Structure 1
Amino acid sequence: MSTVNDPHDRVLSAAVEAGIPYVDITRWTTRVARAATLAGQKSPSAPVYLSSGWMGGVTNIVAAALAEELGGASTIDVSIRYDVNDIAGLDSVDFIDRLGQDFEVMQQGNPITVSPLTDTRWVDFPGSRTKVGRIDTPEQFTFPMTLGAETASTRIGFSSNASTTALLAAKKVGLFRWGRGDRFTPLRRGLLYSPGKGGSAQVRIDVTGPSGTTSATIVDRQGQAHLTAVGGALAVRRALADDARPGVTFPESLPNPRRTVSELESFGVAVLRP
């Protein structure tokens, strides 16, 4: 399993060429697309499991389970509540370096280009109401292909209203565009990186399909690092399963996603329904 950035795809290439099952939980959207293309060209003889959706692909699995309940998914909205008190390494805010780059999503079946931290809305989480804005994540790229979603969006907000306000203000003055270089890295990351003694990872998923609308909220009291580890463990288990097929796959393509969701509690992860 690759848990570090592999910008030159050396680990991926070596694994595919040697016929070794490969799991990756660290890629951003463009690198997921590149990895899928590269692996596909090499015709892998073992599973290549690209599990880089938010928190190691746990979000993808829950979304797939909700879509299965509804007989499909036309719209999938993912809302992340990032706890600024969480115990976290510096890479946990690596996404902040991408907030100056527009990205493409599917909306009503058509590709559109959006800017990070725009299209804000308020979302209810257990015990709180959080303002969230758009962020570039891999599941927005994969959901239309794997689940047939016509609209896929992911937004992020913060447990601290002050952090949300500061980030939106920084976006408004263009910090993430003119301050992209290494010189401004401490300033950019300092907006969020202040790890505390522990926090709760929470992700809400709303799905609309042929049978209506439903939602679920993932809650991991041990924080985002633990939730990512759970996603990684599930991905490794799937890649090594006796019935795992060779080729590129994503977490939401896992068979029996509702059964996998029911197993999350054994890892200390709750999936709350309204």
Structure 2
Amino acid sequence: MSSKTRKTPTLLIVGGYGLVGTQVARMLRQRHPNLGIVLGGRTPERGAALAAAIGASTAAVDTGAEHPLASLPVRPTAVLAAASDPADHLLADAAARGLPIADINRGGHASVLDAAVAVTCASASAPVLLSGSWMAGVAALMAAAAVREHGEVSRLDITALASSDDEVGPDSKGFGQRLAWPYYPMRRGRRQAAHPLTGVRRVLCADGNERPAALVGTLEQITLPRTLGVPTVETRLALLDPASLYALIGLKRTGVLRALTRPVLHRVRSALLERPGTGDFAGITVTAEGPGRTVRVDVLDPAGQAHLSAVGAVCAAERVLGLAGHHLPPGLSFPEQSADPRADVATLRAAGVIVRQSGFAAEPTPTHQRDIEVLAS
């Protein structure tokens, strides 16, 4: 292998031709024309058209196999897991081979614990970035920006704005299952059990409208208290149509959501939670409170939650590749630990995402006419 070839990084995107993976691959090609991109999955022929369009290649990668990376013809520089890895085979295999990996699908307490055990057993010598917080780490990155700006935060409130008609792929089933079971956020510095779809209150969403929002279990509630030192972190979900949120709450209270987690009802759950949708816009609001001051970040993506997740995944991929000045340490880390607020906001805006910052020293954030029209619609 020539020195020129060695200097050209290659990213393996497992799930690279899926709903989010496709958008990640296209964005990375635009941002890094010389980056080698390999689209991996169980049926690589499904990624052939995309690979031809962006100058990538395909490879067979089955996360159900004990060693998913064993048959790769060429060793990649890093791996992005954009598909679920329920048995930790991909994570453990990458760690054992010394390959940097970013995973955007681990959003629950148990899955992070499993990952920590898998990485420890594999004696990871390369970075393992768990970027499964809301929208593939976007919520965590914006939380880090707010905390860094404020300086002394006692409470973080995160509101995720979603549409019941947005595009949702098969790997969303993990979030749907977590709606049925307790999770363990940090409140006032202590880990406590909480129940999804409770604690409803009205919140001001990223689009400027007030809506009811209910508690949901997300990864950033597990990590931010430790990584950023914030005693209380709560994440709530608001839907564009409040009636859809109350319908979910009704399914939870009647036990239907928990019943749908049974394997025998997998097809029913998929029909409810997986859909092509229209790609309605998605939003995130982060509010950081502390003595005498509140700062706020609003993120609004007119292209929907799959697109916003793809932007978060791009940030994660660039970190494990060591691009744009990022150098992650070996072992486990989370997005907020390598946050670069100025660069992260620039990446979001370059992808067409609206970012507004309130209470920042450099405010007001410039707001273009297109942003005003989207926020007012």
TM > 0.5 fold call: yes
Paired position in structure 2 for 1:155: 236
Contact 1:121 1:131 (C-alpha < 8 Å) held by counterparts:
yes
Paired position in structure 1 for 2:277: 196
Alpha-carbon distance in structure 2 between the residues aligned to 1:44 and 1:93: 28
The C-alpha deviation readout for 1:252-271, integer Å capped at 9, x for no partner, is 00143343223321121121
Paired position in structure 2 for 1:67: 147
Alpha-carbon distance in structure 1 between the residues aligned to 2:167 and 2:129: 27
Structure 1 segments unaligned to the other structure (5+ residues): none
1:210–1:37 Cα change, 3 Å: farther
Q: CA deviation at 1:35?
A: 0.8
Q: Give the superposed CA RMSD.
A: 2.0
Deviating more after overlay: 34-43 vs 70-79: 34-43
Paired position in structure 2 for 1:8: 87
* SS across alignment from 2:141: helix
Map 1:231-270 → 2, pairs under 5 A: 231-241=312-322, 243-270=327-354
The C-alpha deviation readout for 1:201-257, integer Å capped at 9, x for no partner, is 111111123562111111111111111111111111111216332221110001433
Residue 8 of structure 1 aligns to which amino acid in structure 2?
Answer: A
Q: CA deviation at 1:25?
A: 0.2
TM (norm. structure 1) is: 0.92
Paired position in structure 1 for 2:63: none
* SS across alignment from 2:146: helix
Alpha-carbon distance in structure 1 between the residues aligned to 2:221 and 2:106: 13
Paired position in structure 1 for 2:306: 225
Residue 130 of structure 2 is aligned with which of 39, 50, 67?
A: 50
Count matched residues: 274
Contact 1:123 1:130 (C-alpha < 8 Å) held by counterparts:
yes
* SS across alignment from 2:348: helix
Q: CA deviation at 1:7?
A: 1.5
Contact 1:96 1:189 (C-alpha < 8 Å) held by counterparts:
no
Contact 2:168 2:273 (C-alpha < 8 Å) held by counterparts:
no
Residue 101 of structure 2 is aligned with which of 22, 31, 34?
A: 22
1:38–1:179 Cα change, 3 Å: closer
Residue identity over aligned pairs, in percent, reads 36
Paired position in structure 2 for 1:106: 186
Q: CA deviation at 1:104?
A: 1.1
Structure 2 segments unaligned to the other structure (5+ residues): 1-79, 359-377
Alpha-carbon distance in structure 1 between the residues aligned to 2:259 and 2:102: 35
Q: CA deviation at 1:194?
A: 5.1
Paired position in structure 1 for 2:356: 272
Alpha-carbon distance in structure 1 between the residues aligned to 2:83 and 2:161: 24
Q: CA deviation at 1:158?
A: 1.1
1:112–1:246 Cα change, 3 Å: same
Q: CA deviation at 1:63?
A: 0.4
Pair member with larger Rg: 2
Deviating more after overlay: 260-269 vs 112-121: 260-269
Contact 1:72 1:147 (C-alpha < 8 Å) held by counterparts:
no
The C-alpha deviation readout for 1:115-153, integer Å capped at 9, x for no partner, is 110111111122422211111111111001100110011
Q: CA deviation at 1:192?
A: 5.3
Contact 2:125 2:331 (C-alpha < 8 Å) held by counterparts:
yes
Deviating more after overlay: 192-201 vs 41-50: 192-201
Contact 1:87 1:196 (C-alpha < 8 Å) held by counterparts:
yes
